[in-house]
Amino acid sequence: MLPVLEADVAVVGSGIAGALVAWQLASTGLKVLVLEGGPPISRRQAVERFRRAPHASLDAPYPVEPVAVLGQFNHHYLQAGPDLFTGTYLRVLGGTTWHWLGTAMRLLPADFKLRSRYGVGVDWPFGYTELEEDYGRAERALGVAGQGDCDSPRSSPYPLPGLPATYLDRKLAQADSYPVEVLPAARNSQPYEGRPECCASTTCVPICPNGAKYDATVHLELAERAGARVLVHHQVVGLESDADGRVSRARTAPGVEVRARVFVLAAHAIETPRLLLVSGLARGSGQVGRNLMGSLGQISWALAPEPVYPFRSPQVVSGITAFRDGPFRVRRAGFLTSIGNDGWPEPPTRRAERLLEEGLRGKALQQALRDHASRQVLLVSNCEQLPEPENRVTLGELLDAHGVPRPRIHYRMGAYTRAGMDEAVLVHARLLDRWGATMIHHVEESTDPAHILGTCRMGLGPGGSVVNPQLRCHEHSNLWIVSTAVFPTSGACPPTLTLAALTFRACRSIESFLRQGS
């Protein structure tokens, strides 16, 4: 007999969605149990580990455990091609919010009606207006600093004033007519809810050294204070349903059985379909695992014509939002252009080696390095991707450390996104050229590990979707999927704030179900 744990609500995953679900529902008096497959993280130890790492990779601050760090997209994933899928995530307490950038933007109204407006992709089962109040709730919960609306109408102010644009941002804005805006971010511009203001370390990815950037441990702690129980090193390896189709129990890798009235899958858009496929659940629509979307980023870098002094702020403060939407979306992807203040994506030693090869030594070498570092400019344009059924997660033949089949990724970028990437190159080139920048380089095969969406999308009926507009599974009445997996389309901005807003929407549905029994 396995040890048995019981709860009103069992939450699988402790990222932003799982943490918000646990906090919201535990605060109403419900018995909530959070199951996290990875370890807890000590910020102090993570920062020290990052400082000592030979390479500043996404994984550098985090413990090396067989099930903890899943950033190695050529290690955990079984890549079936034709293109390489590079989305990454962490299986640790707090999830991927430990190494997210912090940009917290709303989707545009047009993003919810892509099929209706432009004849591509699909429409969401509701519009922007229906999520607008929940966006405000999410911004207050995370502590979003912002100014303006970035073309998404709002009924409530940001809880924090926006961070100031950097000197680099302002100089770039003067170089061309493209409007440069400060982007909203879940990063404190002043102390908020017991967390300090940003210390401008330029290491938001992969680790905020002082906790000014929001991560899910904030609401995990609040959930525990409200009575929730959080278990680490408890990877859920299987779910079972009863004769009525209700999920009756979960099994964890340490050999624990969990029983609950409601189960919430708050894992990532890779791990959620993987668990459903392993368990044989939600099979009726044939949509579990399909419509995988990533965030393709066109990366360009250059040297400004004068010192612009990067490395003195968060990695991204400002960006260009003008290319997110327009009639062009009939034929190509929209994109969000971010201005990087973290310099070129190459080790400083590489530049030093090149200067040494040129014969520079002593003070001349030092001056050349200082000059080069002070003029580095980085542009990243993240393009939306259309949902394609052939882009999917299936089960591979190789097993992970707990004996669960590893995810096999079938992925292709698609012509629509490729056309958006090509346009982003032209935009980058025009902007940098008009500024008088030199040493301009456009990465030919740009990728971005930040976003993973789709695979269990929401819709009005079970024929073409896995969950309903309240994120409740069509086939299993006590199962909710609260994850970026439910996104019907991606948009061009980071999905985190939208996921947080959807979480508040789902929590109302879960509470109603538990209080009323339907």
Residues annotated as catalytic are 451
What does the DSSP assignment read for 166-231? PHHHHHHHHHSSSPPEEPPBSB-SS-BTTBPPP---S-TTT--SSS-B--THHHHHHHHHTT-EEE
Do β-strands 69-70 and 89-90 pair in parallel, antiparallel, or remain unpaired? antiparallel
Nearest to 109 by CA among 324, 294, 296, 385: 324
Yes or no: say if 267 and 483 are a contact pair by the CB < 8 Å rule: yes
Q: Torsion over CA of 361, 364, 366 and 370, rounded to 10 degrees? A: -140
What does the DSSP assignment read for 401-426? TTSPEEEEEEE---HHHHHHHHHHHH
Tokens 């912090």: give the residue.
Answer: 102
Please, which contacts does 25-28 make with residues 24 or more away whose CB atoms are closer than 8 Å? 25/228, 25/507, 25/510, 25/511, 26/223, 26/226, 26/227, 26/228, 27/223, 27/226, 28/511
Residues in Cβ contact with 495 at an 8 Å cutoff, skipping those fewer than 6 apart? 451, 453, 484, 487
Q: At what angle do helices 496-516 and 128-142 cross, to 10 degrees?
A: 100
Distance, in Å, from the CA atom of 473 to the CA atom of 481, rounded to the nearest integer, reads 7
Q: Residue 342: helix, strand or coil by DSSP? A: coil
Q: Is the peptide bond before 314 cis (omega within 30 degrees of 0)?
A: no
Q: Which amino acid is at 86?
A: T
Distance, in Å, from the CA atom of 196 to the CA atom of 27, rounded to the nearest integer, reads 25
Q: Which helix or strand (DSSP H or E) is residue 502 part of?
A: helix 496-516
Nearest to 10 by CA among 217, 266, 254: 266
Distance, in Å, from the CA atom of 65 to the CA atom of 42, rounded to the nearest integer, reads 15
Q: Residue 129: helix, strand or coil by DSSP? A: helix
Distance, in Å, from the CA atom of 107 to the CA atom of 116, rounded to the nearest integer, reads 16
DSSP secondary structure code for residue 467 in this structure: B
Q: CA 391 → CA 82, 119, 202, 293, distances in Å?
A: 10, 20, 34, 7
Q: Which helix or strand (DSSP H or E) is residue 505 part of?
A: helix 496-516
